[in-house]
């Protein structure tokens, strides 16, 4: 994939502090922990994500004409990027993540699988290198290995010798994280040609047919009979806060942020989750951590934070024009 020319550099508040706004959007994703686990006890993953996606898509009806006008002039590469985002990061990744909650039913297990999101910068930087031609300095890779070691300590903290339900959940989360990292890279690519509002709208709208097929394959027509009015507050919670508000904010900020920097800024999500899990009930989960989990988390945080601090020296930006590459460290500001 050859990167498209990004939009002209802006100087507004969102663009000057775009990395901080991405971190804020990622922190809002942590509100998901208050709603999705309760729904996962009543419905399948495909049932949950289908309704979540439908509610968010309905919120874009007021801007539908504007989105349609813009998409008529979009290139086929941008359309392809949007389609892949909808199918992979939105449909399959969200279903995988929701499915993981059925295996990690205890608060302690939930904290373990959520922490694996810290690996997203490793996958995101790799994909930015492969598809956006962003180059990493040699010292990036040892730090990435340390991050992987920290994640291993978290996953195998209770029983290093035997697989468990937590390990199964971890595999689902890792699959989701890889797809979400791809979504960051593809989103940055699409935003060079399409506005953040249209990118947000198409992420959810194009995913609807895929999610409908997944739900029918999973539960059949009877799946529609398992919804209740009592589930509506949780559905509205995940659709409006970590869904609509967070994703629109995220794509607006991503339009001014290189993908490799964005994937580090998204560490606001697991950082906020640390707070959610440690807060006393009913404000959080009040979950104690095992010693190895704490060690693994510290290693993981130190590794990815070190990569984040080194981002200005570590990043070679994506090309400014098709087929031509140049260093753009000055574009990594903000």
pLDDT at 268 over 90: no
53, 201 Cβ separation under 8 angstroms: no
Structure confidence at residue 72 as a pLDDT band (50, 70, 90)? very high
| Residue 264 resides in a domain | yes
Kindly state the percentage of the chain with pLDDT values over 90.
Answer: 39
pLDDT, position 60: 96
pLDDT, position 226: 93
Instruction: Please give the tally of structural domains in the chain.
Output: 1
pLDDT, position 328: 35
pLDDT in tens, 104-114: 656 556 665 66
Any idea which of 87-91, 163-167, 231-235 has the lowest mean pLDDT? Answer: 163-167
| Residue 112 resides in a domain | yes
pLDDT at 271 over 80: no
115, 270 Cβ separation under 8 angstroms: yes
d(CA 56, CA 234): 13
| Residue 228 resides in a domain | yes
Average pLDDT over residues 247-256: 92
98, 41 Cβ separation under 8 angstroms: no
Q: What is the mean pLDDT of the chain?
A: 79
| Residue 275 resides in a domain | yes
| Residue 4 resides in a domain | no
pLDDT in tens, 302-334: 876 676 566 555 444 443 333 333 333 333 333
Domain carrying residue 259 = 13-332
Rounded to 5 degrees, what are φ and ψ at 135? -105, 145
Kindly state the percentage of the chain with pLDDT values over 70.
Answer: 76
| Residue 179 resides in a domain | yes
Contacts 24+ apart (CB under 8 A), 71-80: 71/194, 71/198, 71/202, 74/193, 74/194, 75/4, 75/193, 77/1, 77/4, 77/189, 77/193, 78/4, 78/189, 78/190, 78/192, 78/193, 78/194
Here the tokens at position 291 are 């010693």
pLDDT, position 147: 74
Average pLDDT over residues 129-137: 75
| Residue 78 resides in a domain | yes
Kindly report the pTM of this predicted structure.
0.79
Q: Which of the pair, 262 or 181, is modelled with greater confidence?
A: 181
DSSP secondary structure string, 94-141? HHHHHHHHHH--SHHHHHHHHHGGGGHHHHHHHHHHHHS--EE-TTHH
67, 198 Cβ separation under 8 angstroms: yes
d(CA 73, CA 307): 38
Average pLDDT over residues 151-164: 58
pLDDT, position 1: 55
d(CA 263, CA 180): 10
pLDDT at 244 over 50: yes
Structure confidence at residue 65 as a pLDDT band (50, 70, 90)? very high
Average pLDDT over residues 284-308: 73
The β-bridge partners of 135 are: 316
pLDDT at 229 over 50: yes
| Residue 108 resides in a domain | yes
pLDDT at 8 over 50: no
């Amino acid at each position: 994939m050859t990167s498209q020319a990004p939009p002209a550099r802006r100087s507004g508040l969102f663009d000057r502090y775009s990395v901080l706004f991405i971190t804020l959007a990622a922190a809002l994703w942590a509100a998901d922990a208050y709603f999705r686990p309760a729904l996962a006890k009543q419905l399948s993953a495909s049932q949950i994500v289908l309704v979540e996606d439908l509610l968010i898509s309905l919120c874009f009806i007021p801007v539908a004409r504007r989105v349609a006008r813009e998409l008529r002039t979009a290139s086929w590469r941008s359309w392809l990027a949007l389609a892949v985002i909808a199918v992979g990061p939105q449909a399959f990744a969200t279903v995988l993540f929701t499915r993981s909650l059925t295996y990690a039913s205890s608060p302690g297990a939930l904290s373990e699988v959520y922490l694996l999101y810290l690996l997203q910068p490793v996958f995101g930087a790799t994909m930015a290198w492969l598809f956006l031609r962003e180059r990493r300095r040699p010292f990036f890779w040892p730090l990435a290995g340390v991050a992987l070691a920290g994640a291993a300590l978290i996953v195998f903290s209770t029983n290093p010798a035997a697989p468990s339900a937590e390990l199964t959940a971890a595999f689902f989360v890792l699959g989701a994280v890889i797809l979400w990292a791809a979504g960051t890279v593809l989103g940055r690519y699409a935003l060079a040609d399409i506005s953040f509002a249209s990118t947000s709208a198409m992420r959810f709208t194009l995913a609807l047919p895929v999610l409908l097929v997944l739900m029918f394959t999973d539960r059949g027509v009877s799946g529609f009979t398992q919804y209740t009015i009592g589930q509506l507050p949780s559905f509205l919670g995940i659709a409006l806060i970590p869904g609509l508000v967070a994703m629109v904010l995220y794509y607006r900020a991503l339009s001014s942020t290189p993908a490799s920097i964005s994937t580090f800024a998204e560490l606001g999500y697991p950082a906020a989750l640390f707070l959610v899990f440690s807060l006393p009930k009913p404000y959080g989960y009040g979950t104690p951590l095992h010693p190895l989990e704490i060690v693994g988390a510290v290693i993981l945080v130190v590794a990815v934070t070190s990569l984040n601090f080194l981002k200005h020296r570590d990043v070679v930006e994506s090309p400014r024009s098709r087929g031509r590459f140049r260093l753009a460290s000055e574009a990594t500001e903000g």
